[in-house]
Amino acid sequence: MAGALTERDFVQKLERAGFVEIEVLERTPMGIDDCALYPLFTKELLAIMRDVIPAERLDRIGVCAIIRARRA
């Protein structure tokens, strides 16, 4: 999650790489409870996230975007 781009940056990088017809087809919020499903999120990290991320953001820490694009 620390390496995630904003959707805008992701789309810009796709454009620069030579992709066209870029569509964001789904956006699904990912909250702290979703993160907890993944063993990659350690208990320590989850505790830090609960501690330092504002409560109003905990149900939308990130967004899973599904993006389709065509190579020009």
Partner 1 sequence: MSRDLLHQDEIRAFVREAYRSVDSESRAVAEKLYSPEELDGVPAIALDHALGVGNHLLHARIEPGDTVLDLGCGSGIDSILASRRTGPSGRVIALDFLPEMLERTAAAADEAGLDNVDVLEGEMEAIPLPDDSVDCLISNGVVNLSPRKARVLAECARVLRRDGELCVADLTVEEQELPPEVLTHPAAWAG
A 10 A CB-CB count for 38 gives 11
- The DSSP letter of residue 4 is P
Number of residues that bind partner 1 (CB under 8 A): 47
Residues 3-42 that bind partner 1 (CB under 8 A): 3-7, 10, 13-14, 16-19, 25-26, 28, 30, 34-35, 37-42
- The DSSP letter of residue 31 is -
Rg (CA), the chain: 15
At its nearest, how many Å lie between partner 1 and the CB of residue 28? 6
Measured distance CA(20)–CA(10) in Å, rounded: 13
Q: Using CB under 8 A as the criterion, which residues of the chain lie in contact with partner 1 when the complex forms?
A: 1-7, 10, 13-14, 16-19, 25-26, 28, 30, 34-35, 37-42, 44-45, 48-49, 51-53, 57, 60-72
